Structure 1
Amino acid sequence: MGIGLIVAALSALGVIGWFLFAEAGKAPIDSTSLCPADGPTGHLAILLDTTDPVSSTQLRAARNRITDMIDGAPDFTRISFATVSPDGDIRAGSFTSLCKPPSDASALIGNPRLVAERYEVSFVTPVRAALDGLLAIPEAQASPILEALQEFLTRIPDFGTGDAPREVVLVTDLVQHSDVFSFYRGDDWASFRNSGAADRLARSLTDTRVRILRLPRPAAPQAVVDDFWRRYLDAQGASAVTTTTLGDL
């Protein structure tokens, strides 16, 4: 029995020692971004487009899906938000980017209650406020989705570097309308390419998964819209694209 107790004690000390060693080996955490000094474990970048009318049902569906994505993301994933708007100040002001910290901790190496409180105050509350604000941005006369997406990706620290997995989520009707390109003017992939705009692509989605939460827009030329975005995302280097329609009927 004595030998058994000693073995059990040594095993327990070994487990504690392993936890302490693992904690000591972790990179320090930036107090502002909540990200490790050696970079995030991945990226979840969410761009919301409310430049055209969106029903309350669609807004709730988008919020629920985004919340599920964030809840399911691994610890220290960098969660970034921005909006589509013709107003550069609104786009810049909407940008939010934080790493998701652990929501709990082992009682052996930390205070689970304190970690949970910090998770709620430092991450959940600001993310919830940012998402609520983005979903409440009013309609606009233009929908510069292409420009807003590229600007958004360049704002995210470390997005285009390293091997961390990357996922971009677009909550939009996909109906681009700006001076550069507009489906309402009859533009399509051929006109985009012939204008020279395709030569300006930044290839900023290389090895990135793209998830589209689509807001239906029946009046739009859907076949042209679908063909353009398929070609555009492929040219930008997206590794996979999935689309889910957020209907309201």
Structure 2
Amino acid sequence: MARSREKGPWFWRGMIGAMLASVFGLFALAAFTAAPATVAETGCRMDRKDPAHTVLLIDQSDPFNPNDLGWVNEFVDNEARTLPRFGRLTVVTPNSADPYDAKIIYSHCSPGSADHANAFLQNPRMIEDTWRDTFYEPMAKEIETALMDKRQPSSPLFEAVYSVADRADFQSSRGDRRIILISDLMQHSEEFSMYRSGTNKEAFSRTRIAGQMPQMSGVEIVARVVPRQEYDLPMSDVKAFWNDYFAQTGAQFSSVN
């Protein structure tokens, strides 16, 4: 009967080398995924290297009704979950009193949702609980309050977009940038009102808004049009107007409905 061949020293050296490589690999993976220093109040990176920044611009010039809360929450939930860990989410509303200073009602960074959890090093359930308790629920509460806010005397959307583009944390060095417009897209301010001028491009070209367009190359703009029983202008014309405006800023505009 043939004797089994004994494993030589090179086999054992290879096994030890493989085990050491696995140990060092795990240490390297843990170091790579280690969390950077963050600001306690916002959960954002102290080095300001936000991997992404999404701004929800909610136009509550006409109050939302309770039936709107469902689709708004679903839409916002999806946007929040797509943010990478430490991605910033800011919620603003137009400011009738000071149009070029949109009201900030929430601005925090995501701790990372369970969708992005590392199954080898993290507990997805704990990740989800942390994401919901420290990030999503506080944001959802602020949004619900904003949606039920009283009717505003104007809707300075162009001015609000300008103020967002001018933010220090919304510049090209801050990773992927998105602006989500939750609105009926009806601009209405002293400088330009679609209720007075419609989508007249010549009238718009004479305004200060047209003369100081922000530079938003690389920014993605997405409109989620608020449903109304009847719109004051054909929505196709309104969307085309916004598309032309954003094309001049260098941004990419689209609508989900």
TM norm structure 1: 0.81
- Corresponding position of 1:31: 40
- For structure 1, the 5+ residue unaligned runs are none
1:159-186 CA-to-partner distances (Å, cap 9, x unmatched) read 1131611111000001111101011112
Give per-residue Cα distances to partners, 1:72-104, cap 9 Å, x unaligned.
Answer: 222121111011241449x76543211111346
Instruction: Verify: 1:182 aligned to 2:193, yes or no.
Output: yes
8 Å Cα contact 2:90-2:107 kept in structure 1: yes
Gap change, CA 1:132 and 1:8, over 3 Å in 2: farther
* Structure 1 residue 130: Cα displacement: 2.1
Q: TM-score, normalised by structure 2?
A: 0.79
Taking the aligned partners of 1:100 and 1:200, their CA distance within structure 2 comes to 32
Compute the RMSD of aligned alpha carbons: 3.0
Structure whose CA Rg is larger: 2
Matches within 5 A, 1:51-90: 51-88=61-98
Letter in 2 for 1:70: A
Aligned counterpart, 1:131: 143
- Which residue of structure 2 aligns with residue 227 of structure 1? 240
Letter in 2 for 1:226: K
Where does residue 109 of structure 2 map in the other structure?
99
Structure 1 Cα separation of the partners of residues 141 and 39 of structure 2: 21
Provide the rounded CA distance (Å) in 1 between the counterparts of 2:124 and 2:67.
Answer: 36
Could you say if the C-alpha distance between residues 197 and 152 of structure 1 is closer, same or farther in structure 2, counting changes exceeding 3 Å?
A: closer
Q: Secondary structure at the match of 1:190?
A: helix
Q: How far apart, in 2, do the equivalents of 1:29 and 1:183 lie?
A: 43
Identity of aligned residues (%): 24
Q: Which residue of 2 aligns with 1:159?
A: 170
SS at match of 1:158: helix
Q: Residues 112, 71 of structure 1: CA spacing in aligned structure 2 closer, same or farther, 3 A cutoff?
A: closer
